[in-house]
Amino acid sequence: MSDVAIAAKGRSLWIDAWMRLKANKAAVVSAIYLVLMTFACIIGPNLTGHQFTTIYADYVRTRPSLSAYPKEDMVQKAIDEVAKRARMNLEGWKLDGDRAVMTFASARPIDERNIRYIDRSDTFEDARVDEKSPDGLKMVFSARVQQLHFYFGTDNVGRDLLTRTLMAGRVSLAIGLLAGLVAVVIGVIYGSASGFMGGKTDEVMMRIVDILYALPFTFFVIMLVVFFGRNFILMFLAVGAVLWLDMARIVRGQALSIKRQEYVQAAEALGVGTTGILFRHVIPNLLGPVVIYMTLLVPQVIILESFLSFLGLGVQEPMASWGVLISAGAKNIDTATWLLIYPSIFLISTLFALNFIGDGLRDALDPKDR
């Protein structure tokens, strides 16, 4: 044969699994949800109009609301405050568009510099003197009311919860994904090597895993923090270093059964070396369970991170993760329920979505169901 016929495209097991996954509604919806969540966490904090570190002293523990703050009674309060500080009497005020027009009177002539009292308030900006009575006893100020939206309310020190939740999502998702990936990569290589080589090598490698299992996790993390200081990267290492153990065991079991498959024997008979067999035959064939396990691992990592943060060993203020926010919310459950509710919804829905995807993948990749 001189030239090669054009090869018809085959449908690999991966494409097959992909098609089955697409037929699974829960998994598809979850996948879309996760993508949206990821984008929201990446872009969102820049769109909310707040920095996640900005503290609004006037808005401590503000209820979540769709309409803008300040509300009328809050403006009233702020004006009263201004009047008190400037020792003026409030004669009346009204809202003119986004500007509040207030009329003050006093027994003595009013100093125009009293305007600084208005500017000092978080509620107002761009204060101006509009009118002045000839005797100076009455003066009309106007100032723009700062329109602030707190869709999720604010926290104990007056930071916007929406922005903080999205920022926390960045951290949680990043840790979940990266630590999950670290665990998978180490676990797959270690486990498959151990299972495939077998014999004494396997024994030694698995005993090392057992020893690492025996290390108390919290203790291990505290040791890391002691030696290397508090560090974002350290979190990945700590969580990844613990979770790869499970992965290695699962993969080892898979590798043991794949090793006995005839196609591995056939490859041995062809003279393919250990590395070739490992990377060409063993690992591709155990990726199915690995992918499934990974989707279940990510939520586990997110929860572990939350736990560490809860103990104060993880992410530190002003940075936040969902775990940090939830633990703060739990402390304020009697006064400010929204502090608990919103981050929890984000965390739980993400975990749900991941689990649905994991379930869908398991069904899609299960060869018995074919």
Partner 1 sequence: MAGAVLSLKDVRVTFSTLDGEVEAVKGVDLSVDRGETLAIVGESGSGKSQMMMAVMGLLARNGRASGEAIYAGRNLIGMDKKTLNKVRGRKLTMIFQEPMTSLDPLYTVGSQIMEPLMQHRGLSKSEARARAVEMLELVKVPDARRRMDSYPHELSGGQRQRVMIAMALANDPDVLIADEPTTALDVTIQAEILDLMAELQKRVGLAIVFITHDLNIVRRIADRVVVMRKGEVVEQGKTAMIFKKPKHPYTKALIDAEPSGRKEPPPKSAPLLLSAKDMRVTFRLGGGWFGESLLEIKAVDRVSVSLCQGQTIGIVGESGSGKSTLARAILRLMPSEGAVIFDGRSIANLDSRAMQPLRRQMQIVLQDPFGSLSPRLTAGQIISEGLLVHEPSITSAERDRRAAQAMVEVGLDPATRSRYPHEFSGGQRQRIAIARAIILKPKLVVLDEPTSALDRQVQKQIVELLRNLQSVHNLSYLFISHDLAVVRAMSDHIMVMKNGKLVEQGSPDEVIDNPADPYTKRLMAAAFGAHAHH
**Contact residues for partner 1, defined by CB under 8 A:** 1, 4-14, 16, 19-20, 23, 200, 203, 261-263, 265-273, 276, 280-281, 284-285, 287, 367, 370
Q: First and final CA of the chain: distance in angstroms?
A: 36
As measured in angstroms, the least distance from the Cβ of 286 to partner 1 is 10
As measured in angstroms, the least distance from the Cβ of 287 to partner 1 is 8
Our CB check for partner 1 shows the closer of 18 and 33 to be 18
Our CB check for partner 1 shows the closer of 81 and 202 to be 202
Could you give the CA distance from residue 121 to residue 134 in angstroms, rounded to a whole number?
Answer: 28
Cβ-contact 357, 283 below 8 angstroms: no
Our CB check for partner 1 shows the closer of 138 and 281 to be 281
As measured in angstroms, the least distance from the Cβ of 248 to partner 1 is 21
Cβ-contact 209, 198 below 8 angstroms: no
Our CB check for partner 1 shows the closer of 11 and 113 to be 11
- Angle at alpha carbon of residue 124, lines to 116 and 100, rounded to 5°: 105
Our CB check for partner 1 shows the closer of 12 and 335 to be 12
Our CB check for partner 1 shows the closer of 100 and 264 to be 264
Backbone phi and psi for residue 261, each to the nearest 5 degrees, phi listed first: -70, 150
Residue 271 gets the label, from left (phi > 0), alpha (psi -120 to 50) or beta, of: left
Q: Are strands 124-132 and 138-145 parallel, antiparallel or unpaired?
A: antiparallel
Our CB check for partner 1 shows the closer of 39 and 263 to be 263
As measured in angstroms, the least distance from the Cβ of 282 to partner 1 is 9
What is the helix (H) or strand (E) element at residue 127, kind and residue range?
Answer: strand 124-132
Our CB check for partner 1 shows the closer of 211 and 270 to be 270
As measured in angstroms, the least distance from the Cβ of 279 to partner 1 is 11
Provide the edge-to-edge strand list for the sheet that holds 124-132.
89-96, 99-105, 138-145, 124-132
Q: What token pair was written down for 35?
A: 């993508």
What is the maximum span of the chain, computed from C-alpha positions, in angstroms? 110
Question: DSSP letters along 234-294, please?
Answer: HHHHHHHHHHHHHHHHHHHHHHHHHHTSHHHHHHHHHT--HHHHIIIIIHHHHHHHHHHHH
Among residues 334, 329, 287, the alpha carbon closest in space to that of 306 is found at: 329
As measured in angstroms, the least distance from the Cβ of 268 to partner 1 is 6
* Sequence-separated (6 or more) residues with CB below 8 Å from residue 31: 353, 357
As measured in angstroms, the least distance from the Cβ of 368 to partner 1 is 10
As measured in angstroms, the least distance from the Cβ of 23 to partner 1 is 7
DSSP assigned state of 158: S
As measured in angstroms, the least distance from the Cβ of 171 to partner 1 is 36
Our CB check for partner 1 shows the closer of 97 and 367 to be 367
Cβ-contact 359, 291 below 8 angstroms: no
